[in-house]
Structure 1
């Protein structure tokens, strides 16, 4: 019994000793946690690093806020008397106190990092993030190699420039590397070493880094651990390795906007955890393989503007997790597969600009999440499928540019979420029902066969910004002032219908956001009063109406106007062209009288043909039109000499002065490298010879100097113009033999040649006709040869 008591005492002693040890350890840990973890050396290094920068609002602030990382100067609260491990953006090892993480993203830093920066004394750094700052186009320091433990490095969108330093490739422990959205260049050798050394790399983001000299083959041996590879808009060219599509851990692959990058998808054994694949705007080509259906984790597939052909495999229906599917701007053909009905998570479907045919399959009954449907510019026929009726979340429909017929179903205008409706360029008929959907923002129904009146409810759609009903057979009266209820209306296009348009305002109305008003062929006989309050109007088309009198001053007060078409009316006067920013003015086919008005300085297009303009020579202000591309002053009564500056113009491509009273010689100097494509001087009183400087006009397609008094021999030298298709010399004073040009293929593209009513003489060799190959081609639908009238020519 005594022995038992002694044993119990001994055991109790051991328990008390263990308890005391545990307490001692707890006290030790508490004392460590209360002590400063960060060493004085690290504090000093970080504070010296802080002195390199100023802090202020940055370009990326808004983007940081959208990402959920508010932009603010994290460094401003760094104080010497506070443990740096508690500073904003700093992470320390809890045992050693070493700084292992430095996150200064979105910190409004302005400055640069020199090679001897104290930053590089933090040798234990593992995670370093300087994204979304401003380093003033400085170089990335090569001393990042002094972080041998670095696993994550993010320098994206921070205004770094020059070349990616070679030393970066020595960071062999990197798991994530992001240099995107800087002005950087990556050389081939750096990429080769990077792929070879970074065997643990899981994320590589080089979007917008210039990799144009990098051979894509160097990517072949990229780490099999790769999960995210993003190389958008890098200038990559050549053949992209097929094996990368098969990487076993890859879930995100972004290759878009590499215009010269080629490749094809794996045809067999293609299976990995890809969730996001974007190859848009590349040269990827071939048929879409059936094996793409094996990527059953795919949620986003973008293949816009590639060179894919053939039909869509039925296996596309295996992507039951797919939310975004964009195959637009390719050459896919055949029928749209009905297996798309299995994609119940789909929110965006874009098959526009392809060669799909047949009817649109009624696949939509299961696609209840669909918010955007785009099948524009194919050869789809038939009616709009009834299954669309059930798409309660549908916000936009683009079915324009097909061969759809039948009527527009009434339920289409009552879809509760529909915001954008585009059925332009089809063959839809019938009338428009009343609109019941107040969420509609865009209605585009132009170039169909719709008839009847415009429903009054359309002017109750207060969220409407874009209304285009042009080029139909709509009829009835339209009171423009009613559209003033739609305060957000920006575009109103009613042209080419059978409408009777009432332009008077019955109430005080304003159009604060209207910038495009298109009322061509709307039976208008006066300028609409809507112009009084459309202060932001940029495009105005009132052509093909019955408007009489002078152009009113209120039109001159619209300072934002850059497009104006008043052609085919009965206008008799215009008090100048006072707009400063306008690019396009078309007032041809009116009854305008008086002198030619001086043009605005920014003008690119001017047509005043078929009017009654008379008087002095072309104003000298026309010589100041540095951007003019199209100038048509034809069919007036203008006289004087043609200004030499029109020949010197480097911008003009069409110059039409026919049927006026111009005299003197043709401008003798046409600038080298001229863009001139059409020169029409027919029906004037021009004299002298053809200027030899016309050989500088390598783009010239049409030269018409007929019905003048030009005195010259046949211009053999024109045969050197590679694009010349029309040559009209008729009714002048040309003389002498036609002969034959020594050029190997003279006038190789000529389709119309008129030399009649001149003084050409002598024999005409049959070889002359053999040297007009374009006239022999059956592909040409128009050709004309007129040589003999009023000439003395004999064929040999």
Structure 2
């Protein structure tokens, strides 16, 4: 639905129409006893549940329990949500939208004893997927009925067609409603005063499109999004509705071409045909819709060029043509659209040109096949907020003139072939919030002046050829939440890592796969940082125990550096949210010291490969959610402790190869998928219980001193096992014949 129409509708949905302001404590009771009693009985049907109306927050509306103000002995005309006729005192309006109601509405409810009701709004509550009662058809005077987003299910009752005075019916996004042809025809036949009909996400898969013929000539708004309609647009035959201002047929299974007869809908201001199976070209006759402000054709199979005549839609503010097969140039006639502020042409095959779209604030051109350099005309779009040219084939450098686009908040140039350096002129963009230059061929260093962009929250530069130091001026970016400089050639910081100490809003820092040569800094208390990736650099020294100050850390990866000493976590702190810890391939590390009972209670992945540790970390006793464990290439001697598989009962990946383990081959838990025990000193036979690990896909127990026969049951793993290596052991006997049946092994080695 177009934003321009959504806002008035939202205002209509949530307006509080109560006559209580007309009365004070000395006013006589206006509400009749029978109507007051009917409302109080209706109230008893429901319990109040906060989450029944939680979606109201999304629409910027406050939910609260209106019926709490309904008390016996008080005038019902003063109750929240109740509107009364100011002369007779009859209840004529009931607005309980966003009231946190939880329950069902039976056919014998006292609600249906309010004969004067003209407006009824029960939207945004939770009616527990009950059926819409036929009793709603008793309101002979009802002009407005809204049951949207209120969790009903079943068939739309035929009795709703008795509401001949209705001007607005909203059953949109109700739950799991369906509507058949006979009911649709009766609605069309009897509701001759309708101005608004909203049936979004009502299943109409059995409804014939011809059922919509002869809709009320007063209809101004028709929305049928996600209705599973079948057929072509001409069959809908709504092109004589001269008062229609809003039409939404998005994601409704429509096929065929966009008919030129749309030009008959002279009053149309909002048109959405998104997410259908429409093909062919945009008819030039759409340019006759002089009132059109919102056009959405995205997600179809439309092709050909954009008609030059679209430049005649002088009132249009938003155009969505993304995810089609359009080709050709963006017509210069669009520069006539002085009110156009957003145009989305992404996921097409356009050739680049911008014309003079002087009022455009958002331009989205991602996923086209644009080549060459960014046209200089882009710098003429002085009102631009968002530039998205990602996923194209642009090359060359960022124009220095980008620095003139002083209103820009987001620059997204990722996945192109850009080269050159970041122009220092970008420091003029005082409102810049997001910059993404990832996956290009940029080089050189980061300009120190980027530290002046104090509103920046996200900087993404991964997969480029940047070099030099990461400037300390980035420490000025106090609102920064996300940094990804991975897969470059940054050389260091000229000291310790600076901005990890004072940027307290950072949630993600990824500096992996660079050439950073630095010591780690001390970490100040930080509740925001969740992901810290520093792997594959040249960091040296010890990891300070103040890492425990990052109390909400989810991932810590410092693998493949030159760290030394013992990783020591503050024993008074539990990193309760830590799920991934990787310190592998730091050959001078000597182990991890921690609070052995509670340090990482939510750990899922632990990699300590090539760290010279000599025992199983005792903190694993608290890691009952562990799925991935790699302790390979260490010097761990003796047997695997008995508590290991008792605690870590959900383990799926275990790599203990290249250690000094002794004793019998352990029995993996039934959840195990990858089991790597090669290059140890294990002895004895393969235990029969081993075959309970029926999900194994990779098994390597080679280069040990195992003996005995290969169990028959190992051959039964053929449906899942793809790699099995039993080499360099002392097995004897024959290969079980079970290996010949239902075998999907890609690699098998016995010798």
The residue correspondences of 1:784-795 to structure 2 (distance < 5 A) are none
1:206 has 2:200 as partner: yes
- Distance in 2 (alpha carbons) for counterparts of 1:363 and 1:596: 64
The answer for the alignment partner of 2:69 in structure 1 is: 77
Q: Is the 8 A contact 1:629 1:651 kept in 2?
A: yes
Correspondence for 1:478 among 495, 516, 519: 519
1:668 has 2:713 as partner: yes
Q: Is the 8 A contact 1:470 1:495 kept in 2?
A: yes
1:116-152 deviation line (CA, Å, top 9, x unaligned): 3232344554432112222222112233333455454
- What is the CA distance between 1:562 and its match in structure 2? 1.6
- Distance in 2 (alpha carbons) for counterparts of 1:383 and 1:284: 39
Q: Is the 8 A contact 1:568 1:587 kept in 2?
A: yes
1:635-662 deviation line (CA, Å, top 9, x unaligned): 3233344455665655433333333344
1:287-306 deviation line (CA, Å, top 9, x unaligned): 77356666665556667877
- What is the CA distance between 1:515 and its match in structure 2? 2.7
Q: Is the 8 A contact 1:370 1:394 kept in 2?
A: yes
- What is the CA distance between 1:616 and its match in structure 2? 0.6
Measured at CA, do residues 340 and 446 of structure 1 come closer, stay the same or move farther in structure 2, by a change above 3 Å?
A: same
- What is the CA distance between 1:447 and its match in structure 2? 0.6
1:399 has 2:415 as partner: no
Measured at CA, do residues 488 and 62 of structure 1 come closer, stay the same or move farther in structure 2, by a change above 3 Å?
A: same
The answer for the alignment partner of 2:601 in structure 1 is: 559
- Distance in 2 (alpha carbons) for counterparts of 1:339 and 1:208: 46
* Structure with larger RCO (C-alpha < 8 A, sep 6+): 2
- Distance in 1 (alpha carbons) for counterparts of 2:554 and 2:663: 36
Q: Is the 8 A contact 1:633 1:657 kept in 2?
A: yes
Measured at CA, do residues 654 and 147 of structure 1 come closer, stay the same or move farther in structure 2, by a change above 3 Å?
A: farther
- Distance in 1 (alpha carbons) for counterparts of 2:450 and 2:722: 47
- Distance in 2 (alpha carbons) for counterparts of 1:242 and 1:173: 34
The residue correspondences of 1:74-153 to structure 2 (distance < 5 A) are 74-78=66-70, 84-93=76-85, 99-147=91-139, 150-153=142-145
- What is the CA distance between 1:351 and its match in structure 2? 4.4
1:242 has 2:281 as partner: no
TM-score (norm 2): 0.75
- Extract unaligned runs of 5+ from structure 2: 1-22, 206-225, 326-346
Measured at CA, do residues 558 and 375 of structure 1 come closer, stay the same or move farther in structure 2, by a change above 3 Å?
A: same
Measured at CA, do residues 289 and 194 of structure 1 come closer, stay the same or move farther in structure 2, by a change above 3 Å?
A: farther
- Distance in 2 (alpha carbons) for counterparts of 1:669 and 1:278: 58
Correspondence for 2:663 among 610, 615, 627: 615
- Distance in 2 (alpha carbons) for counterparts of 1:43 and 1:306: 57
Q: Is the 8 A contact 1:320 1:342 kept in 2?
A: no
1:237-271 deviation line (CA, Å, top 9, x unaligned): 46387359976555556788x6x866677253444
Measured at CA, do residues 183 and 466 of structure 1 come closer, stay the same or move farther in structure 2, by a change above 3 Å?
A: same
1:680 has 2:680 as partner: no
Q: Is the 8 A contact 2:457 2:481 kept in 1?
A: yes
Correspondence for 1:334 among 356, 365, 371: 371
What SS does the corresponding residue of 2:549 show, helix, strand or coil?
Answer: coil
When structure 1 is superposed on structure 2, of 217-226 and 599-608 the one drifting more is 217-226
1:375 has 2:375 as partner: no
When structure 1 is superposed on structure 2, of 100-109 and 288-297 the one drifting more is 288-297
Q: Is the 8 A contact 2:551 2:574 kept in 1?
A: yes
Measured at CA, do residues 37 and 460 of structure 1 come closer, stay the same or move farther in structure 2, by a change above 3 Å?
A: closer
- Distance in 2 (alpha carbons) for counterparts of 1:228 and 1:103: 24
- What is the CA distance between 1:491 and its match in structure 2? 2.5
1:711-746 deviation line (CA, Å, top 9, x unaligned): xxxxxxxxxxxxxxxxxxxxxxxxxxxxxxxxxxxx
The answer for the alignment partner of 1:657 in structure 2 is: 701
- Distance in 1 (alpha carbons) for counterparts of 2:245 and 2:604: 50
The answer for the alignment partner of 2:149 in structure 1 is: 157
- Distance in 1 (alpha carbons) for counterparts of 2:687 and 2:247: 60
- Distance in 2 (alpha carbons) for counterparts of 1:414 and 1:268: 48
The answer for the alignment partner of 1:570 in structure 2 is: 612
- Distance in 2 (alpha carbons) for counterparts of 1:227 and 1:671: 66
1:523-542 deviation line (CA, Å, top 9, x unaligned): 11223234644623322111
- Distance in 1 (alpha carbons) for counterparts of 2:483 and 2:106: 57
- Distance in 1 (alpha carbons) for counterparts of 2:595 and 2:430: 46
- What is the CA distance between 1:574 and its match in structure 2? 1.6
Correspondence for 1:442 among 482, 487, 494: 482
Measured at CA, do residues 588 and 355 of structure 1 come closer, stay the same or move farther in structure 2, by a change above 3 Å?
A: farther
Measured at CA, do residues 338 and 205 of structure 1 come closer, stay the same or move farther in structure 2, by a change above 3 Å?
A: farther
Please report the RMSD computed on the Cα atoms of aligned residues, expressed in angstroms: 4.1
1:638 has 2:682 as partner: yes
What SS does the corresponding residue of 2:451 show, helix, strand or coil?
Answer: helix
- What is the CA distance between 1:518 and its match in structure 2? 1.5
The residue correspondences of 1:277-426 to structure 2 (distance < 5 A) are 286=303, 289=306, 308-311=347-350, 314=353, 318=357, 320-323=359-362, 330-334=367-371, 340-341=378-379, 343-354=381-392, 356-361=394-399, 364-365=402-403, 367-426=405-464
Measured at CA, do residues 366 and 196 of structure 1 come closer, stay the same or move farther in structure 2, by a change above 3 Å?
A: farther
The answer for the alignment partner of 2:555 in structure 1 is: 516
Measured at CA, do residues 116 and 550 of structure 1 come closer, stay the same or move farther in structure 2, by a change above 3 Å?
A: same
Measured at CA, do residues 701 and 326 of structure 1 come closer, stay the same or move farther in structure 2, by a change above 3 Å?
A: farther
- Distance in 1 (alpha carbons) for counterparts of 2:172 and 2:34: 32
- Distance in 2 (alpha carbons) for counterparts of 1:670 and 1:408: 58
- Distance in 2 (alpha carbons) for counterparts of 1:238 and 1:386: 50
When structure 1 is superposed on structure 2, of 389-398 and 38-47 the one drifting more is 38-47
The residue correspondences of 1:680-759 to structure 2 (distance < 5 A) are 680-686=725-731, 687-692=733-738, 695-696=741-742, 700=744, 702-707=746-751
What SS does the corresponding residue of 2:136 show, helix, strand or coil?
Answer: helix
- Distance in 2 (alpha carbons) for counterparts of 1:240 and 1:100: 46
Q: Is the 8 A contact 1:376 1:401 kept in 2?
A: yes
The answer for the alignment partner of 1:268 in structure 2 is: 284
- Distance in 1 (alpha carbons) for counterparts of 2:353 and 2:238: 32
What SS does the corresponding residue of 1:527 show, helix, strand or coil?
Answer: strand
The residue correspondences of 1:432-471 to structure 2 (distance < 5 A) are 432-435=470-473, 436-453=476-493, 457-458=498-499, 459-471=501-513
Measured at CA, do residues 342 and 691 of structure 1 come closer, stay the same or move farther in structure 2, by a change above 3 Å?
A: farther
Alignment length, in residue pairs?
658
What SS does the corresponding residue of 2:42 show, helix, strand or coil?
Answer: helix
1:332-379 deviation line (CA, Å, top 9, x unaligned): 543556555455444444444455555445664454333333333333
- Distance in 2 (alpha carbons) for counterparts of 1:408 and 1:264: 47
1:584-631 deviation line (CA, Å, top 9, x unaligned): 211222222222353311222221122222221223xx2x333x3322
- Distance in 2 (alpha carbons) for counterparts of 1:237 and 1:650: 44
- Distance in 1 (alpha carbons) for counterparts of 2:385 and 2:437: 16
Q: Is the 8 A contact 1:152 1:174 kept in 2?
A: yes
